[in-house]
Amino acid sequence: MKLIMYSFSMQSTISESAEISGVELHGGKFTNLKMLPAEVNGGINFIRKDIADRNNIIKVIPSSVSSVLNCTTLSNTAGVTVSTVEHLLAALAAFGIDNINIEIDSNEVPAVDGSAEPFFKIIERAKIKQQSSPRRYVKVLKPVEISIDDSYAKIEPSDQLELDVTIDYDEKAIGIQNFKIAPNLKNFHDCIASARTFAKFDDVASLRACGLSRGGSLSNAIVVDKGKVLNSEGLRFENEFARHKTLDLMGDLYVGGPVIGHVTTFKGGHKLNHALQVALYGTSDTWKFINL
């Protein structure tokens, strides 16, 4: 695939609309999603087309995060939510899209194949439109470190976004894995976009009892059990699990916009990713907005 490289100093949107449909990973319903161009400084907004009796617009900003249980969920002050936004946001981050309206007819982004690759492809087809105002980056000024139980995360100054993700699972099919990347459009496509979400077989029943993973299947997730990958096609990468956690981290970080900093996580997930953002943005001297 030949990728067109874009300037990341100016704001951007898409040139044409882009549509995708599929089953929700957790809710199990069939969902339709449509992305539309947005004006300069419009930001990223989800618009719930199935809601007409109250505010149906959910802004993608850190204060909109309302749940981090097995996925990232955003909500507005009217209580309208949209969940499992992280894979789509990671694809938007890769293209440097700042302004876009995302219409959706349910409360969860479709899982498609469990990765960001389907979103990447439709965004690429929609083409990127550079806009007239400079991008605003979050520049990390001082290290911020947090821990939750035996997991931890740290973000510190750098001249670019760098991600260093380590996971550690008792399940032998996963084990200890690490993945490092300074993401750009090309290496996101080649190394991260197609990495799929995953679950342990023993956890599936308990997740469904909690109203989660009702749409999960071998077509949209890697399932492991007793040291084996149950998907007949196997893994897309030897360390696909760590790569997917890196994808999730990239999407979760983009809730706050483009970041310039070095991020290290150990045994991370949506809860840890969000806690790191809360710690970073909760102290005014640890970051500042800049233009490139």
pLDDT, tens digit, 9 for 90 and up, residues 74-103: 999 999 999 999 999 999 999 999 999 999
- Residue after which a domain boundary falls, among 119, 134, 149: 134
- Residue after which a domain boundary falls, among 83, 110, 134: 134
Q: Establish if 3 belongs to a structural domain.
A: no
- Residues 54 and 127 occupy one common structural domain: yes
Q: Quick one: pLDDT at residue 45?
A: 99
Q: 3-state secondary structure string, 17-77?
A: CEEEEEEECCCCCEEEEEEEECCCCCCEEEEECCCCCCCCEEECCHHHEEECCCCCEEECC
Q: Quick one: pLDDT at residue 2?
A: 60
Q: Quick one: pLDDT at residue 7?
A: 72
Q: Quick one: pLDDT at residue 269?
A: 98
- Residues 124 and 79 occupy one common structural domain: yes
What's the total number of domains in the chain?
2
CA nearest to 237, candidates 184, 167, 186, 177: 177
Strand pairing partners for 199?
Answer: 223
Strand pairing partners for 260?
Answer: 139
- Residues 205 and 149 occupy one common structural domain: yes
- Residues 167 and 46 occupy one common structural domain: no
- Residues 156 and 205 occupy one common structural domain: yes
Residue 47 CB neighbour total at 10 angstroms:
17
Q: Quick one: pLDDT at residue 85?
A: 99
Catalytically annotated residues: 270
- Residue after which a domain boundary falls, among 83, 108, 134: 134
Q: Name the phi and psi angles at 230, rounded to 5.
A: -80, -20
Q: Establish if 215 belongs to a structural domain.
A: yes
pLDDT below 50 — which residues of the chain? none
Q: Establish if 253 belongs to a structural domain.
A: yes
pLDDT for 255-284, tens place per residue? Answer: 999 999 999 999 999 999 999 999 999 999
Asked whether the whole model's pTM tops 0.85, one would answer yes
Domain hosting residue 147, numbered range:
137-290
With pLDDT > 90 as the criterion, what percentage of the chain qualifies?
88
Question: Residues 6 or more apart from 98 whose CB is under 8 A from it?
Answer: 11, 12, 13, 43, 44, 131, 135, 257, 258
- Residues 48 and 163 occupy one common structural domain: no
CATH of the domain at 217: 3.30.1700.10
CATH of the domain at 16: 3.30.230.20
